[in-house]
Amino acid sequence: MSQQIPDADVPGNSTDPSPQTVPPLPEDTRTGPGGIPVLAVEVSRQWARVMTLLRKELGEATYQNWLCFVGCDGIEGGCALLTAPSRFKRDWIRSHLGDQMLKAWNNVNGQVLRLDFHVREAASAPPAANAGESHSSRAPAEARASASQPGSEYPAVGRAGQYGRIGAPLDPRFTFEDFVVGKSNEFAHAAARRIAESDAPPFNPLFLHGGVGLGKTHLMHAIAHAIRARRPERSVLYLSAEKFMYQFIKALRDKDTMPFKEALRSVDVLMVDDVQFIGGKGSTQEEFFHTFNALIDHQKQLVISADRSPSDLDGIEERIRSRLGWGLVADIHPTDYELRLGILQGKAELARRQMPDLDIAESVLEFLAHRISSNVRDVEGALTRVVAFATLVRRPITVDMAREVLQDLLRASERRITIDEIQRKAAEYFNIRLADMLSARRARAVARPRQVAMYLAKQLTARSLPEIGRKFGGRDHTTVIHAVRRIEQLRESDSAMNEDVEKLQRLLQG
Ligand code: ADP
Ligand code: MG
């Protein structure tokens, strides 16, 4: 990943002139049912479009690591009021992504001329314009976690002294009870459970890795919750690598690193989330490594997460990388349909309990599980958005409505159809062997379906012609061009063929 963490800022060091409070929306916009501002619906739509544009332009990693934390409180006098959960995130996002964000706003609403970034008050309501966005679950969670339990905001306990506050808040919803286990995450889940139930480290460290939104943070918080419930005297510290660096650099600037080091080393369980961000900082890496070794030497449990395996962590020194892999490495795979449906059913049940009038048909959950990508965060976000919309316009939730509300998200996930999937479905549909998609056989009975699959790969994925050729048994890109042209012609002249292609396309798009 190219994204590098900048120097962490230190409170009081910011030159930010912007006011800390967000101007209120006009009174009449705040009177919607269930406390959801009505004006927010339009701003929310625009904001969703801005986010979709940015996500496409800046890529998934930047979106998940930074953008998804931004909320929009409204638009006032040509100025979009944006919020971020921390000063660090706000400053980073403003300086690195501000220009692109403004450009995206200009595309969506020409009247937005400026952006105003604020730090979201921990106790304030979730960003209104964001109510239906896929990333919204984060912000309220952070806000709730710190607002509802002010005394226990930082889970490092007791002995850590002033550095007791170096941890990050735990999300109360991220428990083992709320974690749905499926094929893709059962190993990671079992490993996490083992740690939560053991008094001595069963393996050290536990290194959890997997793509964004697949439940790494959820599992780490679940470990912390479980240990706190079972053995409250044990000190468990959870923090993000970003926070680790921030704290360490702050201690360095204050020329006072001892308490920080001692605080870290005095815990029984240390969990550091998203360590891919530790890359590139000599001194923080060094400190991380020493802490890591000291804890392992003292039989303290370490849990580390990253979006990739230890060996793929670039920017991290070789000796650290290899040491990270010494314990148990557990990866979380992308979810499958069953797991997504299970998660959606759980979330829908929760929503129904909170809003007894809510009417979510099972077919809607199936539709979402089928159509939204393998990332759980997106799946949850889609449901949140559909529910928010239904509550606002007071309509029952149907598949058609979900399709309408999620247009942009669905389009994004359509692009994620893979060539493997196309080959599988086409082979099934035309009743030929999957191996024949790649084979050199030229009999019409296999060659035609293969051409259809190549054509669909061109239409439904973003892969280049040479890439497609390679996936079809190492064929040349000119073969792919030929297939695409041939099927285009046939679709014109042969209605049965046209129907086959359309049916397959629908099958693939859900
Ligand atoms: P990661 O840290 O891997 O990026 P998170 O742990 O933040 O992902 O998960 C993203 C969202 O998906 C969270 O709201 C989390 O509760 C939810 N989630 C992920 N996996 C599961 C699961 N197996 N069961 C229930 N919820 C899940
Ligand atoms: Mg995470």
Of 67, 183, 214, 339, best ligand 1 pocket probe by most atoms within 8 Å of the beta carbon: 214
**For 85-96, what is the mean pLDDT?**
82
CA atoms within 13 A on the CB side of 287: 23
Among protein residues, the one whose CA lies closest to atom 9 of ligand 1: 215
pLDDT band at 92, cuts 50/70/90? confident
179 lines ligand 1 (CB under 6 A): yes
Ligand 1 pocket residue status of 74, Cβ below 6 Å: no
Query: Which of ligand 1's atoms lies nearest the C-alpha of 189?
Result: 23
Residue nearest to atom 13 of ligand 1 (CA): 377
Determine if ligand 1 sits within 6 Å of the CB of residue 180.
yes
Q: How many residues in the chain?
A: 510
- Would you say the CB of residue 216 lies under 6 angstroms from ligand 1? yes
Lowest mean pLDDT among 33-42, 75-84, 168-177, 224-233: 33-42
Q: Which ligand does the CA of 277 lie closest to?
A: 2
**pLDDT in the model for residue 328:** 95
Q: How far is the CA of 377 from the centre of ligand 2 (A)?
A: 10
Ligand 1 in contact with 215 (CB < 6 A)? yes
Indicate if the pLDDT at residue 27 is higher than 70.
Answer: no
Tokens (6 digits) for 416 = 């994620």
Strands in 206-210's sheet, in edge-to-edge order, are 236-240, 269-273, 301-306, 206-210, 328-332
Q: What is the mean pLDDT of residues 205-228?
A: 94
Q: How far apart are CA 272 and CA 224, in angstroms?
A: 12
Nearest CA to ligand 1 atom 23: 180
Alpha carbons 31 and 39: distance in angstroms, whole number: 9
Q: Ligand 1, closest atom to CA 346?
A: 25
* pLDDT higher at 365 or 357: 365
- Identify the nearest ligand to the CA of 338 by its number: 1
What number is the average pLDDT over the span 64-83? 82
136 pLDDT higher than 70: no
Backbone angles phi, psi at 203, to 5 degrees: -160, 150
Q: Taking ligand 2, which is a single-atom ion, which protein residues have CB atoms under 5 Å away?
A: 216-217
The alpha carbon of 11 and the centre of ligand 1 are apart by a number of angstroms equal to: 30
Q: Which pLDDT belongs to residue 154?
A: 32
Q: Cα(208) to centroid of ligand 1, in Å?
A: 13
Q: Give residue 40's pLDDT band: very low, low, confident or very high (50, 70, 90).
A: low
> Could you identify the atom of ligand 1 that is nearest to the CA of residue 171?
16
Considering only CA atoms, which of 88, 89, 86 is closest in space to residue 66?
89
Question: What average pLDDT does range 40-69 have in this prediction?
Answer: 79
Instruction: Choose from 113-117, 301-305, 355-359 the range with maximum mean pLDDT.
Output: 301-305
CA distance 79 to 82: 9
Q: How confident is the model at residue 197, as a pLDDT? A: 95
Ligand nearest to the CA of 182: 1
Q: Is the pLDDT of residue 58 over 80?
A: yes
Q: Is 345 helix (H, G, I), strand (E, B) or coil?
A: helix
Q: Indicate whether residue 504 lines ligand 1 (CB < 6 A).
A: no
Q: Please report which confidence band the pLDDT of residue 9 belongs to, taking 50, 70 and 90 as the band edges.
A: very low
Gap from CA of 222 to ligand 1 centroid (Å): 11
Nearest in space to 380 (alpha carbons), one of 183, 237, 212, 169: 212
Q: Among the bound ligands, name the one nearest to the CA of residue 381.
A: 1
> Of the ligands numbered here, which is closest to the C-alpha atom of 272?
2
Closest ligand to C-alpha of residue 184 is: 1
Distance 273 CA to ligand 1 centre (A): 13
Distance of CA 391 from the midpoint of ligand 2 (Å): 29
Q: What is the pLDDT of residue 20?
A: 32
Residue 380 Cβ < 6 Å to ligand 1 = yes
> What pLDDT is recorded for position 490?
94
pLDDT above 70 covers a percentage of the chain that reads 81
Q: Which domains does the chain have, with CATH numbers?
A: 7-144 (3.30.300.180), 186-332 (3.40.50.300), 337-415 (1.10.8.60), 419-509 (1.10.1750.10)
Residue 334 CA, ligand 2 centroid: distance in Å: 14
Is the per-residue pLDDT at 273 higher than 90? yes
Secondary-structure breakdown of the chain: helix, strand, coil percentages, each rounded to the nearest 5: 60, 10, 35
What confidence tier does 482 reach under pLDDT thresholds 50, 70, 90?
very high
Reply yes or no on whether the pLDDT at 47 is more than 90.
no
For residues 60 and 142, the answer to whether their CB atoms sit within 8 Å is no
Provide the 10 A C-beta neighbour count for residue 241: 22
pLDDT at residue number 220: 97
Measure 500 CA to ligand 1 centroid, in angstroms: 38
**Ligand 1 pocket mutation, candidates 170, 368, 376, criterion most atoms within 8 A of CB:** 376
Ligand nearest to the CA of residue 275, numbered in listed order: 2
71-76 vs 79-84, strand pairing mode: antiparallel
Residue appearing with tokens 């944006």: 82
- The pLDDT confidence band at residue 352, using thresholds 50, 70 and 90, is confident
User: Is 145 a residue whose pLDDT tops 60?
Assistant: no
Helix and strand numbers, DSSP H then E, in the chain? 21, 8
Q: From the CA of 336, how far away is ligand 1's center (Å)?
A: 14
Instruction: Assess whether pLDDT exceeds 80 at residue 43.
Output: no
Nearest residue to 243 (alpha-carbon basis) of 174, 155, 318: 155
Average pLDDT, stretch 219-247? 91
Ligand 1 neighbourhood includes 84 CB (under 6 angstroms) = no
Whether residue 343 has its Cβ less than 6 Å from ligand 1 = yes
Using the atom order of ligand 1, give the atom closest to the CA of residue 185.
Answer: 23
From the CA of 210, give the closest atom in ligand 1.
Answer: 3
Rounded distance from Cα 236 to ligand 1 centre (Å) = 20
- Which has the higher per-residue pLDDT, 304 or 34? 304
SS (H, E, C) 260-273: HHHHHHCCCEEEEE
Return d(Cα 67, Cα 84) in angstroms, integer: 9
- Residue 165: the pLDDT is 54
Q: Rounded to the nearest whole angstrom, what is the distance from the C-alpha of residue 405 to the centroid of ligand 1?
A: 23
Report whether the peptide linkage leading into residue 6 is cis, meaning its omega lies within 30 degrees of zero: no
Q: What's residue 36's pLDDT?
A: 38
The helix/strand/coil state of 21 is: coil
